[in-house]
Amino acid sequence: MPSVHFTANLARQTTAPVCEVDGTTVSEALHAVFSQHPTLRGYVLDDQGAVRQHVVVFVDGTAIADRRSQADAVKPESEIFVMQSLSGG
């Protein structure tokens, strides 16, 4: 199962534990996390469901290309990291 990790700065604001979830895309994996932790969604995605301007999502070391819909593929052994950009602080 893909694992989803969140920056410690996000965990300081709300519940953001490491999660192992089902999913073949970043979107599926993230929404599986959000179903367990609904408040987390608004910290990562904007009102229209795009990745927030100053948040960046990596899959196995590569930043995702589809920030609007998060359709990037993930493998069962993938590690997804939700980080903050250096901009926006």
Partner 1 sequence: MSTKLYLGTRKGLIEAERTTTGWSITRCSFIGVQVPMLLPHAAEGMVYAAVEHGHFGTKFHASQDGGATWEERACPAYPPKLDNVPDVINPASQQAIPWDLKKVWALEAGAAPGELWCGTLPGGLFHSLDGGASWHLVESLWNDPGRAKWMGGGAEWPGIHTILVDPRNPHRLLIAISCGGVWESVDNGASWKNIGSGIRAEYLPPEMAFDPGIQDPHRIAWSTAQPDTIWMQHHNGIFHSTDGGQQWREITDAKPSTFGFAVVAHPLDPQTAWFVPGIKDEFRVACDGALCVMRTRDGGQTFEALRSGLPQVHAYHLVYRHCLDVSGDGRTLAFGSTTGSVWISENGGDTWERLSADLPPVYCVRFG
Helices in 1-89 by DSSP H: which ranges? 8-11, 26-36, 41-44
The two three-digit tokens of residue 29, written as one number:
């994996």
Do 11 and 81 touch, CB atoms closer than 8 A? no
User: Rule CB under 8 A: is residue 14 a binding residue for partner 1?
Assistant: yes
* Residue with Cβ nearer partner 1 (28 or 41): 41
Per CB under 8 A, 39 contacts partner 1 = yes
The 3-state DSSP composition of the chain as helix, strand, coil percent (nearest 5) reads: 25, 25, 50
Nearest distance from C-beta of residue 75 to partner 1, angstroms: 27
Q: Does 68 bind partner 1 (CB under 8 A)?
A: no
Q: Residue from 54, 65, 69, 71 that binds partner 1 (CB under 8 A)?
A: 54
Using rule CB under 8 A, residue 44 touches partner 1: yes
CA angle 13, 46, 61 (to 5 degrees): 75
Chain residues binding partner 1 by CB under 8 A are: 9-10, 13-14, 39, 42-44, 46-49, 52, 54-55, 84-85, 88-89
